[in-house]
Amino acid sequence: MIRFPDNFLWGAAASAPQTEGHSLLNGKSETTWDKWFEMNPEKFNENQGPKDTSNTYEMYQEDVKNMQKIGMNSYRTSISWARLLPDGKTLNPEAVTFYRAYFQDMLDHQIEPIINLFHFDMPWWLMEKGGWEARESVDDFAFYAQTAFEQFGDLIHNWTTFNEPMVHVECGYLYGFHYPAIVDMKKAVQVGYHTLMAHVMAVQAFKKSQVDGKIGIILNVLPAYSRSDSPEDLLAKKDSDLLNTQSFLDPAVLGEIPVDLINLLKQNDLLPTVEKDDKQLIRDNTVDFVGINYYQPRRVQAPKNPHTPAVMPEDLYEPYDWPDKKINPYRGWEIYPQALYDIAMMMKNQYRNIPWYVSENGMGVAEESRFKDENGMIDDQYRIDFIKEHLEQLHKGIEAGSNCFGYHMWTFIDCWSWLNGYRNRYGFYSVDLDNGFKRTVKKSGLWFKDLATNNGF
Ligand code: BG6
């Protein structure tokens, strides 16, 4: 039997825009997702937009009970910026009432909430000013963070600033999956830098707020593995880790942007515009903990015909198709549990063994209803196997001294996922879109209850 440390967090993660629904109701203003869907619904899987996502706004009490039923002792979701401050300045009282009731309900059911401030949902009023391209976004975000700490700081003791900041950078400014869907690496770097400063200013606001609690950031880590040990392939690995992982992890935890990253950006004419006090602000506002979302590794090799200076990340590292890979065919992502051990060791050895947790791990599967058993329950044994394999590696890392305090799955109930709509399902509970968003537990949910109750398996 594998046992985890006492008080280990067992739970799941989600986000406001993917679960709340009521996207254009109760005083919430539009986000880039609402607007993009209005402009280009054909981009979204089966025209499924952000308007009616799983309806937690009305069903949160049932959801919280369902969390408890499967043994969850913690849950991470986010606040919607556009709901709390519809114009960026004015507090929406309906939002305060909703979030306070939701958070209190979690506490009443012994579910520790971890509350995140930004999960890809840029308010439209800010996008019109340039979104994260504009420096004023940093102050706007700090004001929002401060407001959230004031309104909910008595209930929430674990806060995070951003979920996967690299994703809105690369999806919005390089690969076309998020609005504004442009391709401009220089802008991508500036957007990333302003996001970093917004994070830093939110941490500063938290420290000034004297909320009794801790603050962290949630980062997606795809550890890079190089095709070979040739100097060229190893350089590709190094550049990938610098751009994708160290760009946020180093400043957030160690208080410094790596010199090698600055040099890499300089060589490629990609340095962002900065302000003179930024360096000190970064140094003074490091996090208390880190959440790491892990789904897949990144296999890289030296680029064959790179453009110099780089205009795309692929000019620095190219994807390498590892012949031995195991793939989740629905999502097209490699399944490589060993990376979780490598991440645990990285946190121990390179990041001062800071407390961290697996804030997302999961397996999206299409058309899951075909796996229903005779009682109508989805028999997702593949998801149980997936979790076990990952937990074995995580446990090995903890035994080797890594300071990991929890494991959260993506996700609790099937949810809407950006351009993919409801195509791939990840939940412990299925959600029936044709039947009032009815939630039904899957086999993995029942298995998770045993896991959490036994603190291991
Ligand atoms: C994470 C995000 O990267 O992966 C979630 O934090 C997302 O918002 C999840 O839904 C699963 O990815 P996808 O694209 O299959 O929904």
The full set of domain ranges for the chain reads: 9-454
Point out the ligand 1 atom lying closest to the alpha carbon of residue 220. 3
| CA of 169 relative to ligand 1 center, distance in Å | 15
Q: Which of 295, 334, 417 to mutate to test the pocket of ligand 1 (most atoms within 8 A of CB)?
A: 417
CA 257 to CA 279: how far, in whole Å? 9
pLDDT of 52 > 90? The answer is: no
Residue 134 three-state SS: coil
Report the share of the chain in percent with pLDDT over 70: 100
Q: Is 360 in the pocket of ligand 1 (CB under 6 A)?
A: yes
Averaged pLDDT for residues 232-259: 98
Going by their DSSP bridges, the two strands 298-301 and 224-226 should be labelled as parallel
* Short-list 66, 164, 88, 71, CA closest to 452: 71
Averaged pLDDT for residues 77-96: 98
| CA of 313 relative to ligand 1 center, distance in Å | 21
Point out the ligand 1 atom lying closest to the alpha carbon of residue 15. 8
Q: Is 53 in the pocket of ligand 1 (CB under 6 A)?
A: no
Point out the ligand 1 atom lying closest to the alpha carbon of residue 417. 16
Averaged pLDDT for residues 289-312: 98
| CA of 101 relative to ligand 1 center, distance in Å | 26
* Short-list 176, 298, 162, CA closest to 242: 298
pLDDT of 335 > 90? The answer is: yes
| CA of 417 relative to ligand 1 center, distance in Å | 6
Q: Is 417 in the pocket of ligand 1 (CB under 6 A)?
A: yes
Report CA 409 to chain centroid distance, whole Å.
Answer: 11
Q: Is 241 in the pocket of ligand 1 (CB under 6 A)?
A: no
Cis status, amide bond into 180, omega within 30 of 0:
yes
| Mean pLDDT of the chain, nearest integer | 98
Residue with tokens 């190219």: 318
pLDDT of 210 > 90? The answer is: no
Bridge-partner residues for 422, per DSSP?
Answer: none
Residue 8 three-state SS: coil
- Known catalytic residues are 164, 360
Residue 244 three-state SS: helix
Residue 332 has what pLDDT? Answer: 95
Q: Is 285 in the pocket of ligand 1 (CB under 6 A)?
A: no
pLDDT of 36 > 90? The answer is: yes
Residue 380 has what pLDDT? Answer: 98
CA 339 to CA 251: how far, in whole Å? 22
pLDDT of 314 > 90? The answer is: yes
Averaged pLDDT for residues 139-161: 98
The hierarchical CATH code for the domain 9-454 is: 3.20.20.80
Read off the pLDDT band of 320 (50, 70, 90).
Answer: very high
pLDDT of 344 > 90? The answer is: yes
Answering whether pTM is above 0.95, one says: yes
Bridge-partner residues for 11, per DSSP?
Answer: 74, 408
Q: Is 163 in the pocket of ligand 1 (CB under 6 A)?
A: yes
Q: Is 427 in the pocket of ligand 1 (CB under 6 A)?
A: no
Q: Exposed, middle or buried: residue 108 (CB in 10 Å: 0-12, 13-18, 19+)?
A: exposed
Atom 16 of ligand 1: nearest residue by CA position: 417
Read off the pLDDT band of 343 (50, 70, 90).
Answer: very high
Averaged pLDDT for residues 256-261: 98
Q: Is 178 in the pocket of ligand 1 (CB under 6 A)?
A: no
| CA of 144 relative to ligand 1 center, distance in Å | 24
Q: Is 411 in the pocket of ligand 1 (CB under 6 A)?
A: no
| CA of 37 relative to ligand 1 center, distance in Å | 18
Atom 9 of ligand 1: nearest residue by CA position: 410
Averaged pLDDT for residues 173-190: 98
Report the share of the chain in percent with pLDDT over 90: 100
